[in-house]
Chain A
């Protein structure tokens, strides 16, 4: 049972914007930074954003992360067909002394 909750699915049309939420608590998102991962079908996860809103080099600026209180969000603007993937939020949890992932959100481009 994950301590970070995400909606199971999200969808959007090409060129539009999709936002994925991630709900946590005071022991994880509330006190630590949030990271987002993209997992394309059949591949390993890829780091999309870290430290709430930082993008590793090579990640398009269409992807943006944010955090407020005990929740975080990933926004994908200018949605493209290749963005169809599973997206996970993640953060350190001080009570568990463990890194925790969200439940995952499948993004579909319709």
Chain B
């Protein structure tokens, strides 16, 4: 069955960087797009980034554009989220999610989700 396990979260100071990882199993990783979605404490879901199955397309929310970078390593079946210049507004649970299809823009559908990794940005 599909399994997504996030890691790399923690408490960091404002202005610093953090890299999240999401290890995938139970499906053909190289055939599907992958998303990152976050949820601030007590708030709603906010989509963060998407990478297509072949890495050829990347999309970002305006709130993270230029600071966050999504990448994937098909040899490790892992997707990453490099987060730079972190601020308190980035404090959230970060979920990775598999796309139902290849992840090329319109028609994307995050279907399976991991349990999340918590990022707290605080001085």
Please indicate the chain A residues that have their CB under 8 angstroms from the CB of B59 in the complex. Answer: 97-99
Quote the shortest CB–CB distance from A32 to chain B (angstroms).
Answer: 6
A11 contacts the other chain (CB 8 A): no
Q: Are B44 and A92 in contact (CB under 8 A)?
A: no
User: Chain A's nearest CB lies how many Å from the CB of B99?
Assistant: 10
Q: How many residues of A contact B (CB 8 A)?
A: 28
Question: What is the bound-complex CA distance between A87 and B50, given in angstroms?
Answer: 22
Report, as a range, how many residues of chain B touch the other chain: 20 to 34
Answer whether residue A2 sits at the interface, using C-beta atoms and an 8 A cutoff.
Answer: yes
B116 touches A37 (CB 8 A): no
CB atoms of B114 and A2 under 8 A apart = no
Structural contact, B44 and A104, CB atoms closer than 8 A: yes
Which residues between 81 and 123 of chain B lie within 8 Å of chain A, taking CB atoms?
95, 100, 105-116
* Cβ–Cβ < 8 Å partners of B110 in chain A: 35, 47, 90, 99
Nearest-CB distance from B75 to chain A (Å)? 26
A44-B114, A56-B111, A99-B50 known; A88+B44 contact, CB < 8 A: yes
Q: Are B44 and A97 neighbours in the complex by a CB distance under 8 Å?
A: no
Query: In the complex, which of the residues A33, A99, A102 has the most CB atoms of chain B within 10 Å of its own CB atom?
Result: A99
A30 at the B interface (CB under 8 A): no
Contact indicator B114/A32 (Cβ below 8 Å): no
CB proximity of B39 to chain A, nearest CB, Å: 8
Task: Determine which of A47, A56, A86, A98 lies in contact with B47 in the assembled complex, contact meaning CB atoms within 8 Å.
Answer: A98
Give me the interface of B with A, judged by CB distance under 8 Å: 35, 37, 44-47, 50, 59-62, 95, 100, 105-116
13 of the cross-chain contacts (CB-CB < 8 Å) are A32-B106, A44-B114, A47-B109, A47-B110, A50-B109, A50-B111, A90-B47, A92-B105, A92-B106, A99-B35, A101-B37, A102-B44, A103-B44
10 tightest Cβ-Cβ pairs between the two chains A and B: A44-B113, A99-B47, A104-B44, A101-B45, A50-B109, A47-B111, A92-B106, A44-B115, A35-B109, A88-B45
Chain A interface (Cβ < 8 Å from any Cβ of B): 2, 32-33, 35, 37, 39, 43-47, 50-51, 56, 86, 88, 90, 92, 94, 96-104
